[in-house]
Amino acid sequence: MNLEELKRAGGIVADGLVKKEIVWKHKNPDSGKNVIDKFFIHVRRQSFGVIESLFAPADDQSSRNAKYIAACVLLGEKGEEPLSYENAFALSNDLGFLFLAAVNEVNSSPKN
């Protein structure tokens, strides 16, 4: 396989966002009632090098998963609003795991 064939086969990560639906079941903080919010996030595919750098051993106490979410998740109608590390770190546990599942789905290889 040559480089051009590798690119056509998807071996080199191309720019672009993947729209993923999130279904978030939680309590409304005002009423205390259970609610279901459905919305879309946009997930950026990341290359091997970016993923490797995000999960490299870190000397600081930053969250690797929050870094991963912040590097990949964009909000807004067309994915124009990045999610900062600080906001990814502050996500509720249930929503953080939903975002992480969407990011992993977009950035994982299909199972053979």
Sequence-separated (6 or more) residues with CB below 8 Å from residue 26: 34, 35, 37, 92, 94, 95
Q: Is residue 9 part of a domain?
A: no
For 45-57, write each residue's pLDDT tens digit: 998 888 888 887 7
Q: Is residue 112 part of a domain?
A: no
Q: Is residue 7 part of a domain?
A: no
Length of the chain in terms of residues written: 112
The yes-or-no verdict on residue 96 having pLDDT over 70 is yes
Q: Is residue 10 part of a domain?
A: no
The yes-or-no verdict on residue 112 having pLDDT over 50 is no
Predicted pLDDT of residue 83 = 95
The yes-or-no verdict on residue 68 having pLDDT over 90 is yes
pLDDT band at 92 (very low <50, low <70, confident <90, very high): very high
Q: Is residue 2 part of a domain?
A: no
DSSP 61-107: ---HHHHHHHHHEEESTTS-EEPPHHHHHTS-HHHHHHHHHHHHHHH
Q: Is residue 51 part of a domain?
A: yes
Task: Residue 70: give the domain boundaries.
Answer: 15-107
Q: Taking all residues of the chain, what is their mean pLDDT, rounded to a whole number? A: 90
Q: Is residue 38 part of a domain?
A: yes
Sequence-separated (6 or more) residues with CB below 8 Å from residue 69: 83, 88, 91, 96, 99, 100, 103
Q: Is residue 77 part of a domain?
A: yes
Q: Average the pLDDT over 70-85 and give the result.
A: 95
Predicted pLDDT of residue 79 = 94
The total of structural domains in the chain comes to 1
For 17-45, write each residue's pLDDT tens digit: 999 999 999 999 999 999 999 999 999 99
